[in-house]
Amino acid sequence: MSPTTLHYFSSFFLLFIILSHHSNADVGTSSRYSPPYLPSGCYGNEATQFPSSNLFAAAGDGIWDNGAACGRQYLVRCISAEEPMTCIPDQSIQIKIVDYAASAVSPPSTAGTTMVLSDKAFGSIANSSAALINIEFQQV
């Protein structure tokens, strides 16, 4: 290989590495739910289960894992919605799973989502008047 060819190949390879975005995040959907939040599917009537930030969620069937999701923490961000300008740009939150969406005391704004965010969590990443958003989420 000539030095010029090697230089171009190296430059292309370096550019490819720099521009490649590796993500371990998953994509799903989220709705929201309002109080009352107790009893929950994870910790019953234990009020201390909720983080002080009130950033928590109920797990949908896709991540529930027969209750193993209880206590898991996820980074979540809104990536799109049916209505433009719903997502709050560049906003991510860390939530804790405290409930199972299928048995939550309060009904979700939309059933069958990956996770159902508390009102506070949902409003932190999206316009709270929306019923459904597309999310990117990653367990931490």
Domain of 35, CATH number, reads: 2.40.40.10
How far apart are the C-alpha atoms of 39 and 83, rounded to whole Å?
A: 33
Q: Specify the pTM.
A: 0.83
Sign of CA dihedral 113, 115, 121, 124: negative
On whether residue 107 sits in a domain, the answer given is yes
> Which one-letter DSSP state was computed for residue 43?
T
- SS3 category, 132: coil
Please give the Cα distance from 99 to 57 (Å, whole number): 7
Mean pLDDT of 2-12: 56
pLDDT, tens digit (0-9, with 9 covering 90-100), for 28-83 = 999 999 999 999 999 999 999 999 999 999 999 999 999 999 999 999 999 999 99
Domain hosting 96: range is 22-139
In a domain, 85, yes or no: yes
pLDDT digits (tens, 9 = 90+) for 71-129: 999 999 999 999 999 999 999 999 999 999 999 999 999 999 999 999 999 999 999 99
In a domain, 118, yes or no: yes
